[in-house]
Amino acid sequence: MLVSIEWLKKNQSNPDLIILDTRPKTMFLNGHLPNSQSLTIEQVIKFDQYGSNLVDDEDKLSSLFGSLGIDDTKTVIVIGDSMDPSVARITWTLLYLGHKNTLILDSNISGLQGKGFEFTKKTFSPKPLSFSPNINLKIRIESKHLNENLNNFVILDARTPQEFMMGHLPNSILIPFTEGISFTGNLFQEKDFLENIFSKNNVSKESEIVCYCMHGHRASSLLVQLFIAGYEKVKLYDGSFVEWHGRGLPLE
């Protein structure tokens, strides 16, 4: 799932590589990698009556990804910054829509300057293609199913300790997403470091795991961290605390 700066250098000019920059649009317009395109969280979510940031409709996302030049023949690399979970949420969205050839650059965008990469303000428009979705239900869970099966999942809360103390889903374990991100230029900590985080919290690789936060963004980062650490049975509850609380479901 993770690729290095060196990998990107070797593959940047590959016409079958789609580079998605997940930073806020204003930052993208101020300078970005040549041939990269802007894609923000706001473009891949929809709001419900509670203000939840749910994954957008299949048809809308398929049209969006197709307009970015993505189809089954393309490899997508998602780039961004470690403290911004946009990279993880957009990666999850692509995986949920069934695009398996989705990678993450394990480096902050700011770390690319001065390492052989030039930035530009010119925009790039790819040839639109037809994106064919293949929804991966294994990596998403909805509130009804979660509420009816609370005891069957290990539930991980990616928020801050302060948020957790104000109320959390029953039996959930607090693991702030910031514990697994890197502050040394990469996006994430090494695999062994991440495995240790989850092991010390008694999270087994055999468990069915659900990640949530407030809006499903930080939880996406925790989900990616679990994947990096070798966990496979991981779902995102994209409705997260906002939807759960809005529906009046039980809290601790």
CATH number of 2-136: 3.40.250.10
In terms of C-beta density within 10 A (0-12 exposed, 13-18 middle, 19 or more buried), how is residue 11 classed? middle
Query: What is the average pLDDT score of the chain?
Result: 96
Q: According to the model, what pLDDT value does residue 92 have?
A: 98
Q: How many CB atoms lie within 10 A of CB 173?
A: 16
In this prediction the pTM is 0.97
pLDDT interval class at 27 (50, 70, 90): very high
pLDDT interval class at 203 (50, 70, 90): very high
DSSP-assigned letter for residue 83: T
Does CATH place domain 138-246 in 3.40.250.10?
A: yes
User: Tell me, what amino acid is at 86?
Assistant: S
Distance CA 197, CA 35 (A): 37
Distance CA 98, CA 73 (A): 13
pLDDT interval class at 110 (50, 70, 90): confident
**Averaged over 79-96, what is the pLDDT?**
97
Phi then psi for 133, rounded to 5 degrees?
A: -75, 150
Domain ranges of the chain: 2-136, 138-246
**Averaged over 70-77, what is the pLDDT?**
98
Distance CA 238, CA 213 (A): 8
Helix, strand or coil, per DSSP, at residue 134: coil
Q: According to the model, what pLDDT value does residue 226 have?
A: 98
2-136 against 138-246: fold identical? yes
Query: What digits encode the pLDDT tens for the residues 142-173?
Result: 999 999 999 999 999 999 999 999 999 999 99
| Tokens standing for residue 191 | 């695999």
* Overall size of the chain counted in residues: 252
Q: According to the model, what pLDDT value does residue 89 have?
A: 98
| Tokens standing for residue 23 | 């930073």
